[in-house]
Every structure is written in structure tokens, then in C-alpha cells.
Amino acid sequence: MSPIRVGLVGIGEIARVQHIPTLAADGDFRLTAMASRSKPAVPDGVALFATQGEMIASGLVDAVAICTPPQVRYGFARDALLAGMHVLMEKPPAQTVAEVDDLARLAGTVGRTLFATWHSMHSAAVVPARRILAERGAVAMRILWREDVHKFHPGVDWFWQPGGMGVFDPGVNALSIVVGCLPEPIFVREARFRVMPGAHTPITAALELATPTHGSGYSALFDWDHKGEETWSIDWTLSDGGLLSLGGGGRSLALDGRTVVDAPDREYPGLYRRFAELVRDGASDAETRPLQLAADAFSLARIERVPG
């Protein structure tokens, strides 16, 4: 196959740091165009357009990777599918599960690939953790996802608007790992949010979770107001008393104190390998479970207003 020609829509931090270098190193794809209302730096040989519509009309792309805020992704994805493009959507793929479901239906109708991505599902620890949990089971789980939003996203305010998800923008990474690892479904039972003045979404969220076989002992803390060292960890207490510890957002895994995985960040190369497979197979992957868990937390949340 010739390389799939990709156009990036929305050139923010995630496009610059992850998508552009990953595409440059991937033989299955070639970055040929970018669409942005701003004037971003453009790699050699890549065309820049003001809108996605102009980019698609140029005939330079076979697929689009949508890296805009989630509030507007549905419209971009729908227009691209109707124009005959394959579509990759950054996480979270849209504002609502219903939007993703409708896009999946449309992709099937027009015969194009829709890939609703969750990059943390492609972290090095996920497959080994899934195998260990299937073999040894788990009786408890603790997610701890702490970082400083002002360090990683200075001046960005769309996170605090309806659909922006607040602390769940990074928190869904943990939820995607969990649904990718656990051998049974997981549910939100209780949620407590801390919300800043004027914001519609939380800066911290504490969840009580459950599975069909364990009604307690599963919890999560997402904190986007943390000033110390970042923590992206998930600990499982195994059925036989052992401990399985995932760290670094999925880059490391320890079993009973022994290192099982210690790997560099290769999530986005894995993500694009999956996209290439889907396009070759004429298939789609519209995973919505992490987004559904976040939506359930919003539905159940008790809200505390905190100083800005």
C-alpha cells in the first residue's frame, strides 16, 4: 500500500508534540496537510489550510486526524466521513457517547474507518497487566492521577466549559487503561467534584467504583491542582494477596515488587499502527467505555465549590 495521506485538524500541543513527529516516523502514513485558524509552524512539504473543508477539497488527504477540543469534534468528523475520509479522533473522541455512536454508524454507511482513540490503551503496561489480572484476579484497585493543569496547559480555558471535561481530560487516560486491563466491567457508584468559580467542570474528582463481583474497594482520585511531583499510577490488590502496580501512566509495571515493564513512551506509534490496521481491514474502532465512565461520574457527582 502507498502511505495514507493524513491531514491534521487543530494544531495544538498534542498535535505538535505527538502526532506530527509520530507521522514523520511512520511508513504507513504521510502528513500532507494541516488545518488551523492560527499560523502554526508547518513541516517541509506540508500544506496549511485555514479550514478542514479547504484541506479536504485540495485532494491532498485520504484521512484526517482531529485534534481540536472535544466540543467541536463531532461536526468535523461527520463532515470528513461524508467527504470520503477515514477519521481518527483524539481523546476524548467527542462530547458525548451518543455523538460517537452516530459517527460509528455513519462510518459504516459510507464505508470508511472511524478510530476513536485512547492513546493510553497503547501504553506498554496494558497488555501484561491484562494478562496478569485475568490470571490472578483483583479484589481492590486504587487510581491516583495527579498533575498541575497550569504546568501542562497554561492559559487554556476550554477545559472548564461544558464538554471540556476538566480533570477528566487527563483522567480518562486512567479510565481507558482500566477498561483495557480489567477482565470484567467497571461502574461508577459515587463521585465528588471540586469545581472552581465560573467553571462547569471539576478540577479534582474522587470516585468510588465497583465491578459485578466487587461492590467496594475500587476508587480513583483525579487531581489537576497538584503542585508536587506528577503521579499517574494504578495499584491492584490481587486475589491471592499480591500487588500489581502500574506507574508513569502505563510506562512501568511491577508485580509483587518485581519490575515487569519499564519502557519508553510509545503510545502514539501504537495508536497509528492500529489506525493503519483498521484502514486496511475496512473496519472501525469506536470505543466509548472511558467516556461513558466520565459521563456517569458527572451524572452522580456531589459538587463542592472551591476558591479560584
CB contact at 8 A, 222 and 297: no
CB contact at 8 A, 284 and 108: yes
Catalytic residues: 91
Q: Is 286 within the bounds of a domain?
A: no
Q: Please name which of 284, 280, 270, 281 lies closest in space to residue 3, comparing C-alpha atoms.
A: 280
pTM of the full structure: 0.95
Boundary (domain end) residue, out of 116, 149, 176: 116
Q: Does one domain contain both 162 and 191?
A: yes
d(CA 131, CA 125): 10
DSSP of 221-256, one letter per residue?
EEESB--SS-EEEEEEEETTS-EEEEETTTTEEEET
What tens digit of pLDDT does each residue of 36-78 get? 998 899 999 999 999 999 999 999 999 999 999 999 999 999 9
- 3 state SS of 38: coil
Helix (H) or strand (E) run with residue 231 in it: strand 231-238
Q: Is 29 within the bounds of a domain?
A: yes
Q: Does one domain contain both 149 and 253?
A: yes
Q: Is 284 within the bounds of a domain?
A: no
Boundary (domain end) residue, out of 97, 116, 135: 116
CATH number of the CATH domain containing 96: 3.40.50.720
Q: Does one domain contain both 111 and 238?
A: no
User: pLDDT category, 22, cuts 50, 70, 90?
Assistant: very high
Q: Does one domain contain both 70 and 111?
A: yes
CB contact at 8 A, 116 and 275: no
Show the cell assigned to 50.
Answer: 485555514
Residue-number span of the structural domain to which 10 is assigned: 4-116
Q: Which residues, 6+ apart, have CB-to-CB distance to 149 below 8 Å?
A: 159, 167, 203, 224, 225
What pLDDT does 216 receive?
A: 95
CB contact at 8 A, 236 and 138: yes
What tens digit of pLDDT does each residue of 119-178 get? 999 999 999 999 999 999 999 999 999 999 999 888 889 999 999 999 999 999 999 999
Q: Is 110 within the bounds of a domain?
A: yes
Q: Does one domain contain both 164 and 300?
A: yes
Boundary (domain end) residue, out of 116, 135, 158: 116
Q: Is 79 within the bounds of a domain?
A: yes
Asked if pLDDT for residue 1 goes beyond 90, the answer is no
Q: Does one domain contain both 53 and 142?
A: no
Q: Does one domain contain both 106 and 128?
A: no
Q: Is 42 within the bounds of a domain?
A: yes
Q: Is 274 within the bounds of a domain?
A: no
Number of structural domains in the chain: 2
Q: How many CA atoms lie within 13 A of 44 on its CB side?
A: 0
